Amino acid sequence: MLEQQLTPIVLQAVKELYGIDANEQQIQFQKTRPEFEGHLTLVVFPFVKAARKAPAQVAAELGEAMKTQCPGLIDKYNAVQGFLNLVIADSYWLQTLQTIAADDNYGQQPDRHKLMMVEYSSPNTNKPLHLGHVRNNLLGASIARIQEANGWKVVKTNIVNDRGIHICKSMLAWLRYGNGETPETSGKKGDHLIGDYYVRFDKEYKKQREELKAQGMDEETAKKEAPLIKEAHEMLRKWEANDPEIRSLWAKMNEWVYAGFDETYRRMGVSFDKIYYESDTYLVGKGEVERGLKEGLFYRREDGSVWADLTKDGLDEKLLLRSDGTSVYMTQDIGTAKLRFEDYPIDRMVYVVGNEQEYHFKVLSLLLDKLGFPFGKELVHFSYGMVELPNGKMKSREGTVVDADDLMDEMEETARRMSADKVNTLTGITEEEAREIARIVGMGALKYFILKVDPRKNMLFNPEESIDFNGNTGPFIQYTYARIRSVLRKAEGAGKGTTGIQDIRLNGKELALIQRLSEFPQTVRQAGDDFSPAVIANYAYALASEFNSFYHDFSILGEKDEAVRAFRLKLSETVAKVISKASYLLGIEMPERM
């Protein structure tokens, strides 16, 4: 890395010029601003006081000393007040390109010999995945890839919320109104079928509440006294008591949902190394709560419910077991955490969960610590913002969500329609190949649009804007890659190779491209430190934009100078390679033709 190479040179120069024993933390480099000549800028203010000279003079003296020490590396310099702008020699950038082009693992950081578990998805088995789940899954899958690139061994995990009152609502509605309907008889995916009954439950539950209110009952009492909700809670009690009939129905309906989830995950391009189920982990959690009760960590109220008093820790009181003995989400999360740390030697546990659950994870971390688990305080809640639509928020129980499958269908169809003219110009392409290109472009548009946003911010999803071929979009980056691959195929067909880089004079846009390529490893590290796929997305867009600017201004195949042509082909090939690597970290496929 250039900064690492220059740091000891700066330390030696300030020692010789001013007698300063500086340390590496005082050396600050930044990319030179575009209005100034240079590639890298050294901030000299840390040395001004000890040097007892004006900032511009210190910068000029350091520039001359560094150029004298490294004439083959520093071509020239200019001092602007307290900033030293360094122009790096072409030979350095040509060697850098050679190194990047030859490194198949470029951007991959050394093995840390540590294990990180990343939990994402966490669906409920009473409804299909929706747009909110899409952001969760894409963030989780991308974070896993980014951390693998940063040297972590990563275990991707999912906790399926397959029990509880919400699941009982769908089950009860199916019993009441389903007439034995199945995915086969309805022609629906299993998760969609069960989701329809979750919506049906809410519809009928509302009717009952309105009837009770018409009889003079207040809203809160009507919510508790409606026959349907009482039946649902009784079904949950029977489930936890292992009632064979209820358990059989539950298993059958969950299998329908799992089959639907698997199809959605496959289309989304996400996968898991280990799946936990709340139905397996909640009993472990109940056992830990009961242990905490015996040890005086928790207390039981008169109605039989169990609580944790966290007021001395700056939080409130937290319900752990209901009065009827049934579990809550916190109980399950305690059990799941215990099982995971028994199953794997986890060094870092990361939960990819929306920011509305920030308080939940503060409580979970504290409870695990109180229960004596050493990993309690080390849990990481990767908190991300919600996805909103132009017409407002989504509500599953009212059937107003954007279904993940419908969204993917829409994205692929939009891609097919918008890319039809481009695809039709490709020679020898089959209808099947055209559909595959539309799938790759549609999913690339969806993933990039979601991942390019700072994950901690709420975002507004606009499908049409996401698939624009000219903006800051996935299709723009994919088209850049496909354009380069087309150039390379034509070069190969014409017998014009990319091997060997001779000592040539570089223009500004070629230098900018190589410098951008050289920043990829640092970008991967930053994305890992920040848990931010947006860092990778923004880098990929910047690299694609700079290549298109270069492509617009300079000929590649038409260049008459053979050495320059070979260099530009190698540069283009390397840009495509790094775009592909960056896109892989986002889970985005690159089409060879487009």
- Interval 31-57: pLDDT, tens: 999 899 999 999 999 999 989 999 999
How far is Cα 130 from Cα 139, in angstroms, rounded to an integer? Answer: 14
User: Quick one: angle between helices 244-268 and 131-149, nearest 10?
Assistant: 60
Q: If we measure between CA atoms, which residue out of 11, 72, 76, 8 comes closest to residue 47? A: 11
Residue 126 has pLDDT above 60, yes or no: yes
Answer with the residue of higher pLDDT: 422 or 267: 267
pTM of the model: 0.90
CB 337 within 8 A of CB 375: yes
Q: What is the CATH number of domain 2-88?
A: 3.30.1360.70
At position 488, the amino acid (one-letter code) is L
Q: Edge-to-edge, what's the strand order for the sheet holding 83-88?
A: 28-31, 40-43, 83-88, 74-80
> Once rounded to an integer, what is the mean pLDDT over residues 285-304?
96
pLDDT > 80? residue 586: yes
pLDDT digits (tens, 9 = 90+) for 306-324: 999 999 999 999 999 999 8
> How many CB atoms are closer than 10 A to CB 545?
15
Position 562 pLDDT exceeds 50: yes
Residues 291-317, mean pLDDT to the nearest whole number: 96
Question: What DSSP state is assigned to residue 126?
Answer: T
Q: What is the pLDDT of residue 391?
A: 59
Average pLDDT for 522-528: 97
Residue with the bigger pLDDT between 489 and 391: it is 489
Average of per-residue pLDDT values in the chain: 92
More confidently predicted of 250 and 391 = 250
Q: What is the pLDDT of residues 226-243, one digit of tens each?
A: 999 999 999 999 998 999
Q: Is the pLDDT of residue 394 over 60?
A: no
End-to-end CA distance of the chain: 35
Portion of the chain with pLDDT greater than 70, in percent: 96
For residue 398, pLDDT over 70 is answered with: no
pLDDT greater at residue 395 or residue 122: 122
Residue 499 pLDDT class (50, 70, 90 cuts): low
d(CA 341, CA 249) in angstroms, rounded, equals 32
- Spatial separation of the C-alpha atoms in residues 94 and 84, rounded to whole Å: 23
Q: Do the Cβ atoms of 319 and 363 come closer than 8 Å?
A: no
pLDDT tens track for 156-176: 999 999 988 999 999 999 999
pLDDT of residue 395: 46
pLDDT of residue 463: 74
Does residue 447 surpass a pLDDT of 60?
Answer: yes
Lowest mean pLDDT among 268-272, 422-426, 582-586: 422-426
Q: What is the largest CA-CA distance in the chain?
A: 93
More confident residue, 186 or 465: 186
User: How many residues does the structure list for the chain?
Assistant: 594
C-alpha–C-alpha distance, residues 427 and 407, integer Å: 30
Task: Render pLDDT for 532-546 as a digit per residue (tens, 0 to 9).
Answer: 999 999 999 999 999
How distant, in Å, are the alpha carbons of 24, 298, 471 from that of 379? Answer: 32, 21, 38
Mean pLDDT of 258-279: 97
- For the chain, the structural domain boundaries read 2-88, 120-398, 405-585
* 463: DSSP letter: H
String of DSSP letters for 158-172: EEEB--SHHHHHHHH
Q: For residue 371, which phi and psi values (nearest 5 degrees)?
A: -75, 0
Per the listing, tokens 């990481």 go with 380
* pLDDT, position 426: 64
The CA-CA-CA angle for residues 14, 16, 22, to 5°, reads 35
Question: Looking at residues 273-293, what average pLDDT do you find?
Answer: 95
CA distance 564 to 17: 41
pLDDT in tens, 431-444: 888 899 999 999 99
Q: What pLDDT sits at residue 154?
A: 98
DSSP secondary structure letter of residue 41: E
pLDDT at 480: 97
Q: Which residues is 83 bridged to in the sheet?
A: 43, 80
Q: At residue 447, what is the residue type?
A: K
pLDDT range class, residue 399, cuts 50, 70, 90: very low
Question: Residues 539, 545, 547, 552: what is their CA dihedral angle, to the nearest 10 degrees?
Answer: 180
Residue 300 phi, psi dihedral angles, 5° rounding: -105, 135
CATH superfamily of 405-585: Isoleucyl-tRNA Synthetase; Domain 1 (1.10.730.10)
Q: How far is C-alpha 500 from the chain's CA centre?
A: 37
**Structural tokens at position 324:** 């009827």
Confidence of residue 59 (pLDDT cuts 50, 70, 90): very high
Give the C-alpha separation, 404 to 387, whole Å. Answer: 13
Residue type, 482: A
What's the confidence (pLDDT) of residue 70? 87
Measure the CA–CA gap between 557 and 489, rounded to whole angstroms.
11
Of 336 and 71, the one with more pLDDT: 336
Q: How confident is the model at residue 396 (pLDDT cuts 50, 70, 90)?
A: very low
Quickly state the pLDDT bin for 422 (edges 50, 70, 90).
Answer: low
Distance CA 552, CA 594 (A): 18
| pLDDT at position 507 | 95
Going by the DSSP 8-state scheme, the letter that residue 37 receives in this structure is S
- Band (pLDDT 50/70/90 cuts) for residue 584 is very high
Tokens matching residue 14: 């300030």
Helices and strands, number each (H, E), in the chain: 23, 14
Q: Residue 71 has what pLDDT?
A: 82
Q: Is a pLDDT exceeding 90 seen at residue 275?
A: yes
**120-398: CATH number:** 3.40.50.620
Q: What is the pLDDT of residue 430?
A: 85
